A and B are shown apart, each in its own frame.
Chain A
Amino acid sequence: MIRLALAYMRDRPLAVALNALLLAIAVASLVLLLQFAEQAGERFERDARGIDLVVGAKGSPLQLVLSSVYHIDVPTGNIPLGELERLRSDPGVARAVPLALGDNFQGFRIVGSDDQLLPLYGASMAEGRSFAKPAEAVLGAEVARRTGAKIGQKFIGSHGLETGEEDGQGHDHAPFETVGILAPSGTVLDRLILTSIESVWDVHGIDHDHHDEAGQDHDENDHDDHAVHDHDTEAAHADEHDEEAAMPGMEPEITALLVRYRNASAAMRLPSQINRQSALQAAAPAAEAARLLGLFGSIIEGARLFGWLLAFSAGLSLFVALWSATRAREGDLALLRVMGARPSTVFGTILIEGLLIAAIGALGGIVGAHGLIAIATASFPTLDELGLSAMRFLPGEGLILLAALAIGLVAALIPAIRIFRVDLATTLARYS
């Protein structure tokens, strides 16, 4: 009977295609919403794991978290390097990891940090080793895959955090050498290029003490006479810093600090203590991510409701199509019965037809949604940076598929039930 149902579908391809398309649009909308909500939520949760607090320049706390934890916004500004040691010496802090941002390579952010960053994310090396000296860089797994870079290859960073910001300011005088490639971790590290803080300073011609170039145990006093580099403003792009020589008078700074508490009391004390300082702010990634997801949540819920309304409309359209189809082929169905088909067989044929159209629509919608994600991530860097993957299928999609099949089944049920109520002799008298 599947073959017969398929034959009837082939017999009216336009109606079948239109109904499947309607359902596909509804399913694609629902899948896109599900994917965005799930993947963004997971990404936010995964990238912020192990980070209790972010300390940075005053400004929007959400911007600080987005730029320093999720690497999808520009930083709020820079903070003095001395804050690193001050926080590390705090008994309530288990770990404080510095970040220095400002450049990119082919759109991938170059992040200056120290040897505390990899353990913070539980990352491991797939190839090579971690950075040890200035100008050495470790590539995230996704960076290596996309750029095709190998160990030993050199590259030149561009100023700004995104490809579009480069405005031709490549740091030709200070090329990086790839010394390691990270194993995929599913975190933001996959899309970052890691180097030492000193490398970032060197690239921007900021003088600092090269004796502790691994970026550890920086003494605030060592850098008192060093230059400041402002990474986040357009002015920074136009500052035409001398790329060949260090600039005396610019004090080395960092962009932010990722902090992990040692105890619960630190969570009570540290944020308010930091926020009282005029130049610094502390933001909790969990709270900011929840605020952002809460904001998106209501939009997503509204869109989801609209998606289900679309699915209902598609079901209604399928019902009308099947109802008129069964009316149009009453003679055929009567002939089938005369040829020996049981009422249940004819009933099943119509149900299968509804199910097949729904299945085509639902599978088309799922494939379409994943295709759209692939196109969107390739076209919009922000979505790519969010970590949306077109190849990831969620269990919720199975439920959407089942719901779409149920819609097809219900839409076919009433036309199919009508078969039992058709008087065969009357129908034959009408058609024969």
Chain B
Amino acid sequence: MSLAIRNLGFRYGGRPILDDFSFDMAPGEQSLLIGASGSGKSTLVNLICGLLTPDAGTISIGGEGMTGIGAAQRDDLRRRRIGLVFQTLKLVSALDLTANLRLAQRLSGHATEGERVTMLIERLGLAHRAHARPRELSQGEAQRAAIARALIGRPNLIIADEPTSALDHANMEKVAALLRDCASEAGASLLIVTHDDRLRDHIASVREIGPLTAGAAA
């Protein structure tokens, strides 16, 4: 399994956010986890990435447990296995696109491969923006740059948290296609977590996630 979640439970401020939640993804599988605001989507992403510790249940990524280990080990597992794409937090603001990818490559534990950085930038149609700062990129360019950053470390699992919510339809389609294609090319599993209903038509496997209690924060 690329991602195996078993009987996950998490409470925030005494309120249950996730209860007995299970979810599996085979290697190379592409899944869409869709839910409204407050449904616990972002909490689930944080739990999968090891940024939060569940109250119950287990999470394993590529066979390695994300639960039951210390913070440093969780950091290490995340670095090696997961590539994350966020809606707004895309790149390190002080570095240009190329420097961002090089940094992400180093932090993922891989040696710096200039060719791979160039290849990814070209693959995502950003060759003309290779030395642009994040604030100089358009929304669509920035989202493609974020995908490149997530892919550079050769992750087993790409998690995209609301990757298209701020984009118009045309850009949403482009980003969805890019995520799909890039994940396929990299042989990585793709999990898109969103409330953007428009993505239903672009990913084969769709699962809904709903709030356990009214008004529960995600």
Complex contact A339–B51 (CB within 8 A): no
Q: B86 within 8 Å of A by Cβ?
A: yes
Complex contact B88–A432 (CB within 8 A): yes
From 40 to 93 in chain B, residues with beta carbon under 8 angstroms from any chain A beta carbon are 42-43, 46, 49, 51-52, 72, 75-76, 78-79, 84, 86-89, 91-93
- Residues of B contacting A335 in the complex (Cβ-Cβ under 8 angstroms): 86, 89, 91-92
Q: B29 within 8 Å of A by Cβ?
A: no
Of A7, A11, A332, A432, which is within 8 A of B161 by CB? A432
- Chain A 181-223 near chain B by CB (<8 Å), digits 1 or 0: 0000000000000000000000000000000000000000000
Complex contact B107–A428 (CB within 8 A): no
> Given A336-B107, A342-B72: A4 and B89 within 8 A (CB)?
no
* Interface residues contributed by chain B, number (CB under 8 Å): 31
Distance A425 CA – B12 CA, assembled complex (angstroms): 12
Distance A4 CA – B99 CA, assembled complex (angstroms): 9
Which residue from chain B places its CB closest to the CB of A8 in the assembled complex? B94
Distance A240 CA – B43 CA, assembled complex (angstroms): 100
Distance A424 CA – B72 CA, assembled complex (angstroms): 14
Q: A429 within 8 Å of B by Cβ?
A: yes
Distance A404 CA – B4 CA, assembled complex (angstroms): 53
Distance A332 CA – B99 CA, assembled complex (angstroms): 14
In the assembled complex, the CB of A329 is this many whole angstroms from the nearest CB of chain B, namely 7
> Given A425-B51, A428-B51, A432-B87: A336 and B109 within 8 A (CB)?
no
- Chain A 403-432 near chain B by CB (<8 Å), digits 1 or 0: 000000000000000000000110011011
Q: B144 within 8 Å of A by Cβ?
A: no
Which residue from chain A places its CB closest to the CB of B80 in the assembled complex? A340
Of B43, B49, B92, B161, which is within 8 A of A4 by CB? B92
In the assembled complex, the CB of B128 is this many whole angstroms from the nearest CB of chain A, namely 21
Q: A338 within 8 Å of B by Cβ?
A: yes
Q: A262 within 8 Å of B by Cβ?
A: no
Q: B164 within 8 Å of A by Cβ?
A: no
Q: B103 within 8 Å of A by Cβ?
A: yes
> Given A334-B89, A424-B51: A340 and B109 within 8 A (CB)?
yes
Q: A341 within 8 Å of B by Cβ?
A: yes
Complex contact B75–A428 (CB within 8 A): no
Of A3, A8, A431, which is within 8 A of B89 by CB? A431
- Residues of B contacting A327 in the complex (Cβ-Cβ under 8 angstroms): none
Complex contact A11–B94 (CB within 8 A): yes
Complex contact B88–A7 (CB within 8 A): no
Which residue from chain A places its CB closest to the CB of B53 in the assembled complex? A425
Q: B143 within 8 Å of A by Cβ?
A: no
Which residue from chain B places its CB closest to the CB of A9 in the assembled complex? B94
- Residues of A contacting B91 in the complex (Cβ-Cβ under 8 angstroms): 335
Complex contact A336–B92 (CB within 8 A): yes
Q: A291 within 8 Å of B by Cβ?
A: no
Of A10, A331, A338, which is within 8 A of B84 by CB? A338
> Given A4-B95, A429-B42: A339 and B89 within 8 A (CB)?
no
Distance A336 CA – B161 CA, assembled complex (angstroms): 16
Complex contact B52–A339 (CB within 8 A): no
Complex contact A425–B46 (CB within 8 A): yes
- Chain A 297-315 near chain B by CB (<8 Å), digits 1 or 0: 0000000000000000000
Complex contact A428–B46 (CB within 8 A): yes
> Given A429-B42, A431-B88: A4 and B109 within 8 A (CB)?
no
Can you list 12 residue pairs at the A/B interface with Cβ under 8 Å? A332-B92, A334-B89, A336-B92, A337-B75, A338-B49, A339-B107, A339-B149, A340-B76, A340-B107, A341-B107, A425-B46, A429-B46
- The list of the 3 closest CB pairs from A to B, nearest first, reads A340-B79, A432-B86, A340-B107
